[in-house]
Amino acid sequence: MSDVISTDVVIIGAGPCGLFAIFELGLLDIKCHVIDILDRAGGQCAELYPEKPIYDIPALPLVTGADLTTRLMEQAKPFKPEFHFNQMVTSLEKRGENDFHLTTDGGLEFQCKVVVIAAGGGSFQPKKPPIPGIEAYEGASVYYSVKKMEALRGKDILIIGGGDSALDWTNNLQPIAKSLTLLHRRDEFRAAPDSVGKMRALVEAGKMQLKIGQVTGLKGEGGVLAAATVKGADGASFDIACNAMLPFFGLTMKLGPVANWGLNLTENLVSVDTAKFETNVPGIFAVGDINTYAGKLKLILSGFHEAALMAQQAFRYINPGERLLFQYTTSSTNLQKKLGVA
């Protein structure tokens, strides 16, 4: 376990609501660390619909999921948030008043005064292909995400899928692989046309192979994969030699570890009061899609409002006894200095 990271607030989830929480807390001089399972910010906007236009963000008549994420990151930048990606918060423990300890599956440990859960629909988890015995190879030869590209250098790689992740990783890993095969159940792809074009060019140049079919079994020993058996489009079976297999079958969302933190839940959502968006545990707040209350709408704009009210109460925990002045960003030189514009 590494050294404990101490901070005012830990935000669990870098979706749009977690990102706006950084801004609202920052205006009140509150420092945040943000943790997310994914390898980048944006939550559902980045993972599920980066290219789709959103039409109901106030004052932005049209913005894509990816652009909204970029704008929120820019807005949060003056407050220098520290991000920890590829980390799932697995435990959250209250050790005393305003003393919370969190750990992640990647071995990080945090201590903070306030926790903001902005975990959306919960943790994104990979959909696993229905291949008999695949569990025996997971982590040693079968990977559902790429944490370190270098670990795949010189390998015979089999990538399965037809979406953006499958095509992006095909194009990114081909230069460092010993051999690379992309397998998809048909010769049509959901991925961005540009990535599909790059992949087809690599096939044309003889630098990788594209096969059509579905994996029916795996061959190997002791977790080390030797080949995948594939049923082709014509019904005939063949083997693809590989010692690393990356199935990209999309992600599902599960509540995950949040369910074990002693919080009051209603239908798998965290109950909060609507004055502060605090849970039943003082000092733990929940904003965005993860929370529930009478009249809740699972919209991004709801999460923005919730973050603003949460920050007011977080300030009181972090600065006990200090008066909190209400200020406008348009007229407060103090706020403008924090934003770096005055």
Ligand X SMILES: Cc1cc2nc3c(=O)[nH]c(=O)nc-3n(C[C@H](O)[C@H](O)[C@H](O)COP(=O)(O)OP(=O)(O)OC[C@H]3O[C@@H](n4cnc5c(N)ncnc54)[C@H](O)[C@@H]3O)c2cc1C
Dump the DSSP string for 312-328.
HHHHHHHSTT-------
Considering the complex, what minimum distance in angstroms separates the CB of residue 310 from ligand X?
12
Q: Which residue is nearest to ligand X (CB)?
A: 120
102 and 92 in contact (C-beta within 8 Å)?
A: yes
Q: Is the dihedral of CA 215, 216, 219, 222 positive or negative?
A: positive
260 vs 333, beta carbon nearer ligand X: 260
85 vs 249, beta carbon nearer ligand X: 85
What's the rounded Cα separation, in Å, for the pair 292 and 273? 9
37 vs 242, beta carbon nearer ligand X: 37
167-181-221-218 Cα dihedral, nearest 10 degrees: 80
Tally Cβ neighbours within 10 Å of residue 63. 18
Considering the complex, what minimum distance in angstroms separates the CB of residue 83 from ligand X?
11
Residue 115 binds ligand X (CB under 6 A): no
Residue 81 binds ligand X (CB under 6 A): no
Residue 43 binds ligand X (CB under 6 A): yes
> For 257, phi and psi rounded to 5 degrees?
-60, -25
State which of residues 10, 45, 115, 240 lies at the interface with ligand X (CB under 6 A): 45
Considering the complex, what minimum distance in angstroms separates the CB of residue 185 from ligand X?
23
156 vs 168, beta carbon nearer ligand X: 168
What's the rounded Cα separation, in Å, for the pair 19 and 77? 10
Site string (257-296) toward ligand X, x via CB under 6 A: xx-----------------------------xxx------
Angle at CA 89, nearest 5°, toward 120 and 150? 105
Site for ligand X (CB under 6 A): how many residues?
38
Considering the complex, what minimum distance in angstroms separates the CB of residue 14 from ligand X?
6
Residue 15 binds ligand X (CB under 6 A): yes
SS3 230: strand
Site string (123-162) toward ligand X, x via CB under 6 A: xx--------------------------------------
SS3 162: coil
Site string (222-261) toward ligand X, x via CB under 6 A: ----------------------------------xxx---
Nearest to 261, CA basis, from 280, 288, 289: 280
Dump the DSSP string for 16-40.
HHHHHHHHHHHHTT--EEEE-SSSS
Considering the complex, what minimum distance in angstroms separates the CB of residue 41 from ligand X?
8
Residue 13 binds ligand X (CB under 6 A): yes
State which of residues 26, 161, 162, 303 lies at the interface with ligand X (CB under 6 A): 303
Within positions 46 to 65, which residues make up the interface with ligand X, using CB under 6 A?
48-49, 54, 56
Find where tokens 């934003």 sit: 339
220 vs 257, beta carbon nearer ligand X: 257
Dump the DSSP string for 137-161.
GBTTTB-SS-S-GGGGTT-EEEEE-
Q: Give the CA distances from residue 342 to residues 6, 71, 180, in Å, rounded to whole numbers and listed in that order.
A: 30, 20, 53
> What's the token pair of residue 142?
């079968």
Binding site for ligand X (CB under 6 A): 12-18, 35-38, 43-45, 48-49, 54, 56, 88-89, 118-124, 256-258, 288-290, 298-301, 303
